[in-house]
Amino acid sequence: MNRFDGRRVLVTGGGSGIGQATVLRLLSEGGRVVAADVSEAGLEDTRTAAGPLSGQLTTLTMDIGDEESVKQGLAQAVDGLGGLDVLINAAGILRSSHTEKTALDLFEQVIRVNLVGTFLVIREAIPHLRASSAPAVVNFSSTSASFAHPYMAAYAASKGGIQSMTHALASEYAKDGIRFTAVQPGSISSGMTDGSGQSKQSQGPGLPQDADFSLFGKLTPALGEGFAGPEAVAGVVAMLASDDGKFMTGTEVRIDGGTHF
């Protein structure tokens, strides 16, 4: 199945976790992919994982929380690809703490990277997506946007903002033919959501040592024991970004094994 033959794709957060799994999935379906990440080591790991498909892959160091880095990175990605058809905004960080003990700079860091960073990448990409014959953007929200995940107020706020922004953008750019959708991962094993509260890209504090796990409700996915791998989300992202998702825009898809009903 080569749904991405001839398609030019930028994936942020492509150096680890679900972003890396998405890069590998789109490469396997024929896409030409630029993987962007703040971690050079993570990007090297992605290139190694791509193996014989690495000829379709370009890696790019980019900090989505920095406006100038985004401007330069988008220009470099588009120049290398010769245009842009698909944007996948997978980059993000998770920080957990008791809300009353959360420093303002930590709260703002999460909002800056997750929400503002997603906005910056989209803003710079829109002129190039307009020139595509079938442009698509897939943003990363989270089950945290709709369900209670204690100690993660900043993260929930950022992901709720991304979800709302996705709807607004889908309406604003429908006449330009740009589709905007979002995924809501939950119960997915990755550097960010393996229970440590840490991101492979940028290590931060995990859940508080005195975290009350009774606040989390049902932790086990209804479809079986344990978390799913990041490839479970990558497959849905590939569908949304391909022609199979051409009648989908302004909506989100929850991928959590039935952890939240």
If we measure between CA atoms, which residue out of 81, 54, 26, 20 comes closest to residue 241?
A: 26
* Catalytically annotated residue among 4, 107, 151, 155: 155
Separation between Cα atoms, residue 236 and residue 254, nearest integer Å: 10
Helix (H) or strand (E) holding 54: none
| Cα four-point dihedral sign 38, 43, 46, 52 | positive
Strands (E), the chain: 8-12, 32-37, 57-61, 86-89, 136-140, 179-185, 251-255
Contact 209, 104 (CB under 8 A): no
> Could you give the 3-state DSSP secondary structure of residue 72?
helix
155 part of the active site? yes
Separation between Cα atoms, residue 6 and residue 73, nearest integer Å: 21
Instruction: Provide the annotated active-site residues.
Output: 155
